[in-house]
């Protein structure tokens, strides 16, 4: 009985609602400080979570700024993708603004608030369920695009690996993702890819990306009757540890994650398991057709995969009418 009570308390402490409630005072102070900026919303992210989980925070910040007619100033330092001293703004190293820089100097001091957990902003509770794929893509791309060196790397890799509209993209996120999404046996996933190829004979090759070396080996041994190219990621997971907790250099992990997502976005169709990385391929390319092999769990039913799954279910229902 005592053990059950302890387990329930631990579960409560880890819950999003509990952390959100606990962060209410600091959240109130953050927004009070930001109101002093008079039209500027300045946030520095120092979060220890996955690369595209942080990109979700960026998307929420942009949504908040659009809704309230604020100018966003976003940076990201330290954490899993920066240096220990926080001298490198890794977000600015990987993305560039597409908006013309204002030549005017701020007439007042701008206060920057440091965010170490999404609940400090509370934006997921406010915006996640309302986001839609096309409008979210338009919003993000109206502010940012990958830095020039990232775009060049993606273009060169697409040419080398023959990634194009005739490529079927595949992404399988393993390791810790089993706690956030329904699992699917590797063989069943391969059969889904096989079925997609059968229904789309125009695909002449396959591009596969995964954080699990064992899955890649299994996938490449499957008789798909199409050439298979593997994402050129050098930094992979260590056993059950996800790649961003496997001790690799931070900025390189972020670069590889971004490049992998962009390569998948250049394919003609994407078959995937739940994952922020491959879901963001749809943000980078909103016209990309996506097949989600399994739904996220109900407590992890977050955008963009939530909207990909809902759209997929609606399309299937419509085809049966």
- What are the pLDDT digits (tens) for 146-192? 999 999 999 999 999 999 999 999 999 875 455 555 678 999 999 99
> Hey, which of 3-17, 23-37, 229-243 has the most confident mean pLDDT?
23-37
- The beta-carbon contacts of 177-182 under 8 Å, at least 24 apart in sequence, are 177/242, 177/273, 177/274, 177/275, 180/274, 180/296, 180/297, 180/300, 181/273, 181/274, 181/294, 181/295, 181/296, 181/297, 181/300, 182/294, 182/295, 182/296, 182/297
Name the pTM for this structure: 0.88
Per-residue pLDDT for 244 more than 50? no
pLDDT grade for 108, boundaries at 50, 70 and 90: confident
Write the CA distances from 82 to 37, 47, 98, 110, 318, integer angstroms. 26, 10, 23, 23, 46
Q: What structural domains does the chain harbor? A: 2-96+109-145 (no CATH), 148-320 (3.40.50.11350)
- What are the pLDDT digits (tens) for 110-131? 999 999 988 999 999 999 999 9
- What are the pLDDT digits (tens) for 286-302? 999 999 999 988 888 99
DSSP β-ladder status, 228-230 and 144-146: unpaired
Q: What pLDDT shows up at residue 110?
A: 94
pLDDT grade for 321, boundaries at 50, 70 and 90: very low
Determine what percent of the chain is predicted with pLDDT higher than 70: 84
pLDDT grade for 16, boundaries at 50, 70 and 90: low
Extract the tokens encoding 4.
Answer: 């059950």
Contact 51, 254 (CB under 8 A): yes
Per-residue pLDDT for 6 more than 70? no
Q: What pLDDT shows up at residue 215?
A: 93
pLDDT grade for 12, boundaries at 50, 70 and 90: very low
Per-residue pLDDT for 248 more than 80? no
Mean pLDDT to the nearest integer, 41-47: 96
User: Which residues contact residue 163 at a Cβ distance below 8 angstroms, ignoring those fewer than 6 apart?
Assistant: 157, 169, 207, 229, 263, 266, 267
Mean pLDDT to the nearest integer, 274-278: 95
- What are the pLDDT digits (tens) for 187-227? 999 999 999 999 999 999 999 999 888 999 999 999 999 99
Per-residue pLDDT for 275 more than 90? yes
Write the CA distances from 34 to 46, 56, 91, integer angstroms. 17, 20, 21
């Amino acid at each position: 009985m005592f053990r059950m009570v302890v387990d329930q308390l631990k579960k409560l402490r880890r819950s999003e609602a509990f952390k959100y409630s606990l962060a209410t005072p600091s959240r109130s102070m953050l927004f009070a400080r930001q109101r002093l900026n008079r039209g500027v919303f300045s946030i520095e992210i120092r979060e220890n979570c996955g690369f595209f989980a942080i990109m979700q925070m960026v998307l929420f910040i942009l949504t908040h700024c659009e809704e309230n007619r604020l100018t966003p100033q976003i940076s990201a330092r330290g954490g899993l993708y920066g240096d220990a001293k926080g001298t490198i703004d890794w977000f600015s190293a990987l993305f560039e603004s597409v908006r013309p820089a204002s030549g005017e100097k701020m007439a007042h001091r701008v206060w920057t608030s440091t965010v170490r957990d999404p609940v400090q902003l509370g934006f997921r509770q406010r915006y996640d369920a309302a986001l839609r794929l096309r409008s979210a893509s338009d919003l993000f791309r109206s502010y940012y695009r990958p830095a020039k060196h990232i775009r060049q790397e993606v273009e060169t890799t697409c040419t080398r690996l023959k990634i194009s509209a005739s490529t079927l993209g595949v992404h399988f996120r393993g390791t810790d993702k089993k706690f956030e999404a329904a699992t699917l046996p590797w063989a069943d996933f391969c059969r889904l890819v096989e079925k997609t190829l059968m229904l789309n004979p125009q695909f002449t090759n396959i591009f596969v990306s995964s954080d699990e070396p064992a899955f890649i080996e299994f996938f490449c041994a499957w008789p798909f009757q199409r050439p298979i190219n593997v994402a050129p990621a050098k930094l992979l997971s260590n056993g059950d540890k996800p790649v961003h907790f496997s001790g690799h250099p931070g900025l390189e992990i972020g670069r590889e994650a971004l490049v992998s997502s962009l390569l998948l976005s250049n394919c003609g169709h994407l078959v995937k398991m739940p994952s922020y990385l491959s879901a963001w391929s749809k943000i980078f390319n909103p016209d990309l057709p996506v097949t989600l092999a399994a739904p996220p769990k109900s407590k992890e039913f977050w955008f963009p995969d939530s909207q990909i799954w809902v759209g997929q279910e609606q399309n299937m229902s419509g085809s049966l009418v």
